[in-house]
Amino acid sequence: MKIRNVKVPEGINVSRHRPVADLFVLTAGAIGLFATLGLLALLIGSYGGRYLPMSWENALAAAVFEVGETDEEVTTNNREIETALQAIADRLSANMDLPEDLRITVHYLDEDEINAFATLGGHVFVYRGLIARVADENALAMIMAHEIAHAANRDVAANVGGVLLLQLVLGTVVGASPETVDGLIWGPNALLLRQFSRDAETRADRDGLTAVATTYGHVAGADRFFRILLNELGESVPDEGPEFLNTHPLTVKRIADLGALARKRGWTLDGPATPLPRVLTALDPAD
Amino acid sequence: MEAFIELWQILLVVVLLILAFFTGRIAELRHYKSIKRREHALGDLVVVVAKTLPPMSPAPATKLVRGSAVISVDYFKRFLARLRMIFGGRIHTYESLLDRARREAILRMQEQAQELGATMIFSMRFETSSISKGRKNAVGTVEVLAYGTAIIPQG
């Protein structure tokens, strides 16, 4: 009798499958899973950041940056500018609903940029380029009130909380670097986040305008910053792209919204322009 | 610029996946073709796992024979396996890797036995080890060693 090895049967140890279909299904599943996880981290982080005790935010801000204190370049002139800006901020914040421990500190940045921003711990930064381009205090006050409103609404803390938790989660789960996470957040794919950001901006515009109306008794000139922005962009209606791609509402829309809010609340659109403090009028954008 | 680099990285992964899919498939089909042909040719050299020899006269000579095969999965299969590891389930793409490695190892062992003039291999065993273990991002590579006792008839 002749003995032979049994022919190895096929299809038992190696099962039939469709690898390409598998790849698509699994990739879609993985992207969906990580996106859900990331969104959840962002939402929880934002929520946590917004409701973090103000004293914690202040402590964090103090740890992250010792603003101005050690900066040797702060000249006497800059101090005078900051004092003038601080006075405006103090008048505005007196008419705003600030958290108990929040103290607004204004800093001056000697750069030609038409911008201002708020960071952790109520630190508001105003650029020379912005001050040099506004004709009166009312326009400047609107922007500062907008930034103070961001601090008061805890938008910065919410933002930082969300981003930190997202970086932690995505870094742990998929080993994504913080830079990649930043790219994901501000990249063109994060449309939902841009909606959140626009909502926060709209709220800050509304609260800012309310503060301006209460402080000055009218809202004349409050939309002037946005008009300056429009002119600076060189066209009456600049191309900012579709709104859903922007972190801020479209400038034209913001002007219209401010006007609509003023009419709705019965705030007068005419009123005397408050001149800028002398130290601020001396600023030149071209310096 | 950063967006460009990220796009480039994604594109690179896609190109590698497509390339690896086709090259891996061709390599696998060729290998299976060769395995089946050689298995048929060596069908008479019986391989069993039994430990004890049946009584034979005159007593045959015995010799250790072994065959080892090292096979690597391609980028496509590894990518799919990593995705599968998130959700769980059978990693189909690694099944053929191990199947090919085991069958190739047996064939090499049989080829050695044939050269010695053996008619049978007794007490065949496998050892399987991953030689890319612990190295992050290394393409999965396995080594399979098949060994047994070759029975060489005397006289």
> Could you tell me where the beta strands, DSSP code E, fall in chain B?
46-47, 61-72, 120-130, 141-152
Residues A134-160 have pLDDT tens digits of: 888 888 999 899 999 999 998 888 888
Q: Is the dihedral of CA A137, A262, A146, A109 positive or negative?
A: negative
**Between chains, do A14 and B83 touch, taking CB under 8 Å as contact?**
no
Residues B87-106 have pLDDT tens digits of: 888 888 889 989 999 999 99
Residues A159-190 have pLDDT tens digits of: 888 888 888 888 888 777 777 777 666 654 55
Helix (H, G, I), strand (E, B) or coil at A286: coil
- The order of strands in the sheet holding B46-47 is B46-47, B120-130, B141-152, B61-72
Q: Which of A78, A132, A85 is nearest to A106 (CA)?
A: A85
B111 touches chain A (CB under 8 A): no
More confident residue, B12 or A178: B12
Which residue among A13, A17, A183 sits closest to B6, beta carbon to beta carbon?
Answer: A183
Residue A110 to residue A73: CA distance in whole angstroms: 10
Decide: B101 and B143 in contact? Cβ < 8 Å. Answer: yes
The reported pTM is 0.68
Which residue among A5, A14, A30 sits closest to B47, beta carbon to beta carbon?
Answer: A5
**Predicted local distance difference test score (pLDDT) of residue A187:** 57
- Most confident option among A115-124, A216-225, B41-50: B41-50
pLDDT greater than 90 at residue A201? no
Residue A41 to residue A167: CA distance in whole angstroms: 9
Average pLDDT estimate for A265-277: 83
Decide: B127 and B105 in contact? Cβ < 8 Å. Answer: no
**Predicted local distance difference test score (pLDDT) of residue B111:** 96
**Predicted local distance difference test score (pLDDT) of residue A185:** 65
Rounded-to-5 percentages of helix, strand, coil across chain B: 50, 25, 25
- Choose, out of A14, A20, A182, A186, the residue to mutate when testing the contact with B (most B CBs < 10 Å): A14
The H or E element that residue A29 is part of is helix A19-50
Decide: B141 and B59 in contact? Cβ < 8 Å. Answer: no
The H or E element that residue A186 is part of is helix A178-186
pLDDT band, very low/low/confident/very high, at B136 (cuts 50, 70, 90): low
Q: Which residues sit opposite B145 in a β-bridge?
A: B68, B127
Residue type, A226: F
Distances (CA, A) of B118 to A110, A246, B41, B50, B55: 90, 78, 15, 16, 16
**Predicted local distance difference test score (pLDDT) of residue B62:** 92
B2 touches chain A (CB under 8 A): yes
Residues A83-128 have pLDDT tens digits of: 999 999 999 999 888 888 888 999 888 888 888 888 888 889 999 8
Helix (H, G, I), strand (E, B) or coil at B129: strand
B50 touches chain A (CB under 8 A): no
The H or E element that residue A124 is part of is strand A123-127
Nearest residue in chain A measured CA to CA from B94: A14
Residue type, B141: T
Burial class (CB in 10 A: 0-12, 13-18, 19+), B37: exposed
Which stretch of A53-57, A176-180, B62-66, B149-153 has the lowest confidence by average pLDDT? A176-180
Scan for tokens 């973090």, then name that residue.
A52
Which residue among A8, A22, A180 sits closest to B39, beta carbon to beta carbon?
Answer: A8
- Choose, out of A26, A31, A34, A189, the residue to mutate when testing the contact with B (most B CBs < 10 Å): A26
What ipTM was estimated for this complex?
0.75
A8 interaction partners in chain B (CB closer than 8 Å): 39, 103
Residue B129 to residue B106: CA distance in whole angstroms: 15
